[in-house]
Amino acid sequence: MNELGRLEDLPVAYREALTQRCLVPLWPNLRAVLPPQVPARKTRPTFWAYSSIRPLLLQAGELTPIEKAERRVLVLANPGHGLENMQASAAMYLGMQLLLPGEWAPAHRHTPNAVRLIVEGESAYTTVGGEKCVMQRGDLILTPTGQWHEHGHDGDQPVVWLDVLDLPLVYYMEASYHIDGQRQTVKPDRGDAVYARGGMVPTVNFERAGKPYPMLRYPWVEARAALLALAGNQPDLPSVQIAYTNPETGGDAQNILGFYAQMLRPGQSLRLPARSPAMVFHLIEGGADVQIGDQRFALGEADTCCAPGYTAVTLSNRSADQPAFVFIADESPLHRKLGVYENRG
């Protein structure tokens, strides 16, 4: 029983008078926007198999030249939000992007933050703010808000990467737009080389305020080595995870979404607590099962799935003798900034 009353119980003439004046009675609608105990969530547990995405993505390369597509992407859309809204969760957009040999995707900049997680291929690159970031499998490359960026490919095989953007949030705020630009001049500047060693940062001509994103490329070879070192150094550590951070501040690599690499020891089953932010899981190496509520997905390499917030997740490594490596994106930085972050254990 709705203790606040129902909209249809109000006189028709009263409802029409409200509508004519662009007014809405709160009391019949209050529980829809402020439900008890747990928020209403449109995000559903959803799985995308790379084996089914890849042929369709390559077909897109045959059907549409880069000059017409500009960004040749298949969006990983969560049905709970409606496929037409192109959302993986309330604040996250996911897309698989293809770049073929010899292609160049023109420079532009936009207000949403983006990252690229390289799925397959070699010899491609993205240039961000004049810094050329080579693409190798498993690398994470940032494209922060307002930064000029373009993509090129000098190799002979297709390159695919996973895009993760805070586009749904920026669009909801009516702040989403892009500007086209000219091809960039590459500068002799590589943040991944300057900040390649943890605990050490440059001090000569050091400009914190002048360069809010000092490191744009996070090589997978370094992240993988860090995970293996952490696991070896702390054999009893239950969760072997690293966060991608700003090397100058120690804060999140970007302002809205958080990015992490998770290692599952051979045969390990790891339960992640029910937290407020939604999460995305993308398998880089190995094989893992992901239990989200009462749904279970078997992830092979390059497969992706998402979990709604306030839902416990269990990650299980299917191999008894090899580790598995998972890339994770979530909405934690946004939730913390808004003061709504929760960990319900």
- Asked if residue 245 is part of any domain, the answer here is yes
Domain count, the chain: 1
CA dihedral (227, 229, 232, 233) positive or negative: negative
Amino acid 191: pLDDT: 85
Average pLDDT, the chain: 94
Rg, C-alpha atoms of the chain: 22
- Asked if residue 15 is part of any domain, the answer here is no
**Dist. CA 243–CA 230, nearest whole Å:** 12
**Dist. CA 106–CA 181, nearest whole Å:** 7
Amino acid 4: pLDDT: 66
CA 38 to chain centre: 24
- Asked if residue 16 is part of any domain, the answer here is no
- Asked if residue 77 is part of any domain, the answer here is yes
Residues with Cβ within 8 Å of 165's Cβ and at least 6 positions away in sequence, in order, are 92, 93, 95, 112, 113, 114, 115
Return the number of other C-beta atoms located less than 10 Å from residue 76's C-beta.
25
| Closest to 119 in 3D by CA, of 59, 56, 163, 61 | 163
| Closest to 198 in 3D by CA, of 234, 222, 224 | 222
What is the residue whose two structure tokens read 């900049």? 109
**Dist. CA 18–CA 33, nearest whole Å:** 20
Amino acid 192: pLDDT: 86
Amino acid 1: pLDDT: 41
Residue 173 maps to which CATH number? 2.60.120.10
Amino acid 294: pLDDT: 94
Beta bridge partners of 292: 295, 313
- Asked if residue 9 is part of any domain, the answer here is no
- Asked if residue 99 is part of any domain, the answer here is yes
**Dist. CA 81–CA 112, nearest whole Å:** 19
Can you give the pTM of this predicted structure?
0.94
Mean pLDDT per 10-residue segment, the chain (345 residues):
75 97 94 93 98 98 86 96 98 97 93 98 95 97 96 95 98 96 87 80 65 92 96 96 93 96 98 97 98 97 98 98 98 98 95
| Closest to 53 in 3D by CA, of 319, 300, 279 | 300
Domain that holds residue 53: 46-338
- Asked if residue 105 is part of any domain, the answer here is yes
**Dist. CA 236–CA 102, nearest whole Å:** 48
- Asked if residue 92 is part of any domain, the answer here is yes
Decide: 213 and 149 in contact? Cβ < 8 Å.
no
